[in-house]
Amino acid sequence: MTDQTSADTRAFRFTGTWQAYAPIAFTNLLLMIVTLGLYTFWARARTRRYLWSRTRFIDDRLEWTGSGLELFIGYVIAFFLFVLPFGLVNLGLQSAMMHGHPGAAGLLAILMYLTALYLIGVARFRALRYRLSRTLWHGIRGGSDAQGFAYGWSYFWKTFVSFLTIYLMTPWSMARLWNERWNAMSFGSLSFRSAARWQPVFGRFLLFYLLPVALVVAFGAMAAVMATNGVLDHTPGSVPTAKTVVTIVAAGLAFYVFFFGVLGLVAMTYFAAFFREAVGATSLGTLQFGFEASTRDWVLFYLGSLALVIVTFGVGAIFLPYRNWTFFIRHLAAYGEVELDTLLQSHTRAPGQGEGMLDAFDVGAF
């Protein structure tokens, strides 16, 4: 069904162009400005309708059936159920601090953090369920019978375990949560199955984890050598020499570039490996998925998006959804056969609104 060496025979193909998407993007931007941001939900639905309709899977196009009204209703519900109460609790927290009750303020802050942690897990699950329920292929949609509340608890304690181990168990947490999320989803009459492992990517994560320590130790040793050689000598009350100022500035810039540049690159190698492992371990019936983006692909993708936004003074951000989707589809692969005769319509309950909690907490679905 899929030839990994030929783009013409790939299971997933994108047939749109940025020139065709540009009128949609600029119209969305104009309407969002005119409506003071209210059109955001309809803009997102309009963008997805275009991107889905230009995406082919084997012999048919995808179709997005979600609407802006559903996204708007979801956000309004989340605002009154979560955003507003969190705001009121935050006011109570500040009042407790002003009236000299740091203990009560600290307790409120901890409760807010723990509640938000649970709700973020629920939001991610429900957003994925909503997107699958609004994605059609051959008229068949996806979904889940689960509501995401159990997943929220799983997300809560696994993230907490990661926190207690100073984030050393992050790959374990990410792989387990990926599996739980996708094992609860289905498309048509077929269930997704995922068995992603954390062990194959732990080495890259360990490099990312220990690199900041190594960099701080290296720069600390360099500063000690400079101090020993008198480079940093300075008499209190006197003006530092030009050599001392230049050395300190150069050391600061070098630390900044190495810390964020090298650390960002190493982080990219980890995420590239994780997505290859996670997507590669996911299947639907006899169909096996794969994600073929290398670290170089991810780096070029992010640098391109960054350049697009900077060069256009921010206007180019309207093309980021297009870039994100095409990057995802270009590297997504599928191997195996789809037996259409056995693929029946989903009987999972389709949610009436979507992604409100995700918008409220401003986190990604994946």
Neighbour order of strands in the sheet with 190-194: 12-14, 55-57, 60-64, 135-137, 140-143, 186-187, 190-194, 282-284, 287-291, 332-335
* pLDDT for 3 beyond 50: no
Q: What is the Rg, in whole angstroms, of the alpha carbon atoms belonging to the chain?
A: 25
**Predicted TM-score of the model (pTM):** 0.86
Please tell me the least confidently modeled range out of 131-140, 263-272, 317-326, 357-366. Answer: 357-366
Instruction: Please give the pLDDT value at position 363.
Output: 53
| Adjacent-strand bridge partners of 14 | 55
Determine the 3-state secondary structure of 234 from DSSP.
Answer: coil
Tokens 């093309």 belong to which residue? 319
Residue 170 in this model has a pLDDT that exceeds 70: yes
Q: Which of the pair, 185 or 246, is modelled with greater confidence?
A: 185
* Arithmetic mean of pLDDT, 250-279: 86
Q: What are the pLDDT digits (tens) for 282-328?
A: 999 889 999 999 999 999 999 999 999 999 999 999 999 999 999 99
The residues facing 283 across adjacent strands are: 193, 288
Phi, psi of 266 (to 5 degrees): -65, -40
pLDDT digits (tens, 9 = 90+) for 187-226: 999 999 999 999 999 999 999 899 888 877 887 887 787 7
Q: State mean pLDDT over 82-103.
A: 84
What is the pLDDT, as a whole number, of residue 349? 86
Taking alpha carbons only, the member of 68, 44, 51 closest to residue 15 is 51
At residue 366, does pLDDT exceed 50?
no
Is residue 146 classed as helix, strand or coil in its secondary structure? coil
Nearest in space to 206 (alpha carbons), one of 172, 176, 178, 175: 172
Report in angstroms the alpha-carbon separations of 311 from 291, 306, 307: 30, 9, 6
DSSP 306-357: HHHHHHTTTGGGGGHHHHHHHHHHHHEEEES---GGG-----SPPPSS-SHH
pLDDT at residue 234, rounded to an integer: 63
Show the CA angle centred on residue 155, arms to residues 153 and 159, nearest 5°.
120
pLDDT of residue 8: 57
> Please, what is the average pLDDT of the chain?
88
Q: For tokens 């990604």, name the residue.
A: 364
Percent of the chain, pLDDT > 90? Answer: 58
Distances (CA, A) of 358 to 52, 120, 263, 293, 319: 21, 7, 28, 26, 21
Token pair of 88, please? 């009121």
Proportion of the chain above pLDDT 70, given as a percent: 93
